[in-house]
Amino acid sequence: MSAVSYADVGGVNVSTWHYIDGARVPSPDSFPVLSPIDQREIAQVASGTAAEVSLAVSAAEAAFDDWAALGARGRAEYLYRLADLIDANVESLAIVECEDAGMMLRPLRAYVAAFGAVNFRAFADMALAQTETGWSYNGSKVRVQRMPAGPVGIITSWNAPIVISTWKLAPALAAGCTVVLKPSEWAPLTCSMIADLAGEAGIPAGVLNVVQGLGREVGEALAADERLTRLSFTGSSRTGRAVGQTAANNMVPCTIEAGGKSPLVVFADADLDAAAKTAAFQYDDAGQMCIAGSRLLVEESVAAEFLTLLGKHTDAHVVGNPRDPETTVPPLIHPDHLARVSGFVERAVAQGDTLLRGGRSLGGLLYEPTLIKPRSNDAEIVQEEVFGPVLTIQTFSDEDEAVRLANSTRYGLAGMVFTRSADRAERVGRAIRSGIVWVNAFNLRDASAPFGGRGMSGVGREGGQYALDFYSDLKALYIKEDTTYED
């Protein structure tokens, strides 16, 4: 039976049907959305199939020519209006994202939900700033022109749905593409709200479509649709690999932002308290951050002092209800994910790794901050992404060993280096093989900078000009210089 058209989520009415061609569309079946806070059902959401995906892609295809023809300035007017509406609805978006994804309400209200507006304004500005490049070659004028790629598919994850979905939607729409968005079935509701705000902003029907449903039905059907010109995915490495294979079959360029197992490297000359505070911050959002520095690598001579400081900052965490402004470690997203996280810890202990703190479920979907000293660098807990409040700690003797350990996994999304040496910061920052390295900092994100990873962390780059390039086809136009034209 189809879901009802709206659900009351924390006092906010949220549409539970698909958004296709500017209208709400039901499905015969629905799936429940459970709040991570108390595992209570908060909505029954329309469960799409290949039929709804096809309908949405057809709508995106039909809307593409007119949207592309608007040019960067015409599209920017719509995106600025959408950004204004997101700003005006931050409170509602924050409440729903807290209930739906279990994210902490205080930062959602303060700045996280507003990142959606930041993304739309930033990419509209960047698209407006683009200019054609040109030169003379062998008697001809050469110009490089940009063409919007066409209808695109976007598949997003359940952690930080507002931030991640708008991070992808904004450059796609700014570049002139039309979009079919598939949100995660574990946290789809704020993506539905963004679709309504897009309609309120006047974005034409078919330009932005949202199809909800299970990954094995909607995600697979979207990735396989031959009419799409681009695919962008954020999620697990395993699913990202499948999406990439499907895209390759259709000769469709894709970006894949997948897992991370990032190193946080602390040298003896670092501000140890700042490093330990940043390390403890990796437990925020229950460690459900792809960029989290989950592998602590600390120089041997300061390891004991660092552990003491880390303990102090970890003790300051509050595990609890994300509605509570004091909470810093909210629940995990889903019972299946809790089982995954606890399974990693249980296997680590069984295999001989040392549990230094934590390692217990605290009821519901809460899991306490956990620190493990692995028996070796080959341990599963070191090499595989846990995506929970679980860190490992290892020591190194010199800079070469620090770099070797930092680069010793299949992942390469992010890294952190703490040192007071400018020379070392430059050397190690360059030597760590990942898409992002922060020195004496964490989670600085400039919309104009590239974002993405290597290895099992993904393919391609998002952000800035790199994203606009991805959603565009480039054309070299040669015009013979001595041609006489009658008009």
- Catalytic residue list: 257, 290
Distance CA 140, CA 479 (A): 5
- Residue bearing tokens 């992942």: 411
What residues have CB less than 8 Å from 113, skipping those under 6 apart? 86, 90, 93, 94, 97, 162
Q: Give the span between the Cα atoms of 24 and 192, in whole angstroms.
A: 10
DSSP 8-class letter at 226: T
- 146: Cβ–Cβ under 8 A, 6 or more apart, which residues? 130, 132, 175, 468, 472, 473, 474, 475
Handedness of CA 399, 405, 410, 412 (dihedral sign): negative
List the one residue out of 367, 357, 360, 343 whose CA is nearest residue 285: 367
Kindly state the DSSP code that residue 2 receives in the 8-state scheme.
P
Residue 340 burial class via C-beta count within 10 angstroms: exposed 0-12, middle 13-18, buried 19 and up: middle
Q: Give me the residues paired with residue 32 across strands.
A: 44
DSSP letters, 227-240, are T-SEEEEES-HHHH
Q: Which of 328, 319, 325, 316 shows the shortest CA–CA distance to 273?
A: 316
- Cα 140 from Cα 126, distance rounded (Å): 29
The answer to whether residues 334 and 36 touch, using CB atoms and an 8 Å cutoff, is yes
DSSP strands (E only) in 103-251: 133-137, 140-148, 151-155, 178-182, 208-210, 230-234
Looking only at the bridges linking them, the beta strands covering 133-137 and 140-148 are antiparallel
Own/partner pairs, 431-434, CB within 8 angstroms, 24+ separation: 431/403, 431/406, 431/407, 432/263, 432/265, 432/403, 432/406, 432/407, 433/407, 434/262
CA nearest 294: which of 216, 389, 218? Answer: 389
**Rounded Cα–Cα distance for residues 77 and 125 (Å):** 10
Rounded to an integer, what distance in angstroms lies between the CA atom of residue 40 and that of residue 249?
40
Tally of CB atoms within 10 A around 117: 25
What is the distance between the terminal CA atoms of the chain, rounded to a whole angstrom?
63
